[in-house]
Structures are given as structure tokens and as C-alpha cells.
Structure 1
Amino acid sequence: MTPAAARAAYRRQMRNGETLVLRRLAGVGAGDYAARGRVDGFAPSDFEGAIQQGMRTAIVLAEDVEASGFPLPFREKQDRLVWNGKTLVIRSVDDATRRIGGVVIAYVLELAGA
């Protein structure tokens, strides 16, 4: 599968997703940026080690992040994601799992908060 085909497939899957807000609090590019994505919780069996109750993951389309003008790279523990009226801290960013041919298709964000 080519990166373009993968991005198109993810966009189709995200039709049922929602608009999320990426928030840079300070510095160059401070502000809010909209991107399409999906937020999920963890199953009770996942609560081991570093995963704690209240943590979530988000899959955010890289194409939308780029188009929004969000200043990459993400700043872990400084940037925020606003979802469903809740402001969550972006604890970690995985830009490798959903990458094809060196092109990021989607970011997987580990979130903490509310």
C-alpha cells in the first residue's frame, strides 16, 4: 500500500471520528488547531504499569495536523488535546506505528487528564 492510499483509507475510516483540537500553550505557534481523529479509553485489563485510570489514546490524522498548521514536533507533556469539553495532556506521541514508506499516516497520542 502506498502512503497516499493509506492516508485515503484512514480518512474514510475517520468519517465516524470527530474534530479534535490540538492546543499549543506557549511559544512559537501558540494557539488551537483542528484535526480529525478518534479518542479511545483503555480496557480494565490494560491498567498495568504506567497506564492509569483516566488515560486515553487518540489517533489523529497526520494529514490534518499538517494542514492545520500545528507546529510540529509535538511537545510531550506541554501540548494539549481538547476533546468532548475536556483538556487532556499529550503524554507521549507515537509517529512510527502508523507510518508507511517514511510517511506518517496518523499519530497515536497517549493522553492523561479528566
Structure 2
Amino acid sequence: MTVKYSREHQWIDIADHEAAAVGITLHAQETLGDIVFVDLPPVGKVFRQGEVAAVVESVKTAADVFMPVSGEVVEVNEVLRSDPSLANRDPMGEDWFFKVLVSDMLEFDALLDEPAYTQYAQNA
């Protein structure tokens, strides 16, 4: 399991070179507050790094979920779509947003590791 983080507060987990799970970080969830709506991308859509792939709304605000790497969406978390409040429970685990086939591993390698993200998030 290899987890990296974007400066836009998304995490991506590549396990055994399969599709990588993408979600929002705990910092993002805490900043947003109670999540009430999630708009997930369509399966099969190809995104470039940095493009808006999803939208999350909370009782406080709405926020874009940016694609941390270029790739094709191969699965979405339908459970999260039907009950967006689950993203409040385990945003860094089973409440991932979508899975993507990474098309450029150099983009993945350039993302922040956990210590670098933790320091970044403390200053955000």
C-alpha cells in the first residue's frame, strides 16, 4: 500500500499496481464539516491531473475534488453516493470516492508523502 497526498487535500492509494483509490483527507473532511452530498465522476471518464473530478457539499460549503493524477476512472463508491454522510466516518479508508487507473506514475511519485502532507496541512 502506497499512499500519497495532493496539495488540494486528496489522497491516493495504489495497492499492488491495481486501480488506485482516491478520496478526501481527514483535514479536508474536518474543514468541510458534515458532508451531505457527493457528485462522483462517471466510470470511463479520463481526467488530467488537476482537473475537477467530483464535488462534495457539506452543511458549511461545497468543494471540488481534484484528480491527483492523470488517469481513467474505473469505479466509483456507490455506497458513498447513496449515503454521502459516510464520508464523515472514514474519509481515509473505506469511504474513498473513486478508483482510477494511473496513466503517469511520475505524477504519482511527485505527490506529497505523509510527513510532507501533515506539515503542509498544518500550515493550510
Question: TM-score, length-normalised on structure 1?
Answer: 0.38
- Of Structure 1 and Structure 2, which has the larger fraction of its residues in strand? 1
Question: TM-score, length-normalised on structure 2?
Answer: 0.36
- Of Structure 1 and Structure 2, which has the larger fraction of its residues in helix? 2
- Structure ID, larger Rg: 1
